[in-house]
């Protein structure tokens, strides 16, 4: 996935210290990585552009909902638009 190493990097929701999220883009390919650094569940407003995105990887077997992160959950989503 070339987007992982040659894409433009941009933080998302950087006013929060409990969740780290960033987006990478290359042409029409977009990747978002979201990490919850706490032991509590946290809400996260996933950017609309990632509606219908495919889960690439995560540290839980399945991601129940992309807008609610479980304790220490991290995942990456990819979409081409």
Reduced DSSP (H G I as helix, E B as strand, rest coil) percent helix, strand, coil of the chain, to 5:
10, 45, 45
What is the structure's pLDDT at 40? 96
Residue 5 confidence (pLDDT): 56
Query: How many structural domains compose the chain?
Result: 1
Q: What is the mean pLDDT, run by run of 10 residues, along the chain of 81 residues?
A: 58 79 88 94 91 93 86 94 81
What is the model's pLDDT at position 64? 74
Residue 74 is predicted with a pLDDT of: 95
Classify residue 13 as left (phi > 0), alpha (psi -120 to 50) or beta: left
Structural domain that includes position 33:
3-80
- Look up the CATH number of the domain holding residue 42: 2.60.40.1180
């Amino acid at each position: 996935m070339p987007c992982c190493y040659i894409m433009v990097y941009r933080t998302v929701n950087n006013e929060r210290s409990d969740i780290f999220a960033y987006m990478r883009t290359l042409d029409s390919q977009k990747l978002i990585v979201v990490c919850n650094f706490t032991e509590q569940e946290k809400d996260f407003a996933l950017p609309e552009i990632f509606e219908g995105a495919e889960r690439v990887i995560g540290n839980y077997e399945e991601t129940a909902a992309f807008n609610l992160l479980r304790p220490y959950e991290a995942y990456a989503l990819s979409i081409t638009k």
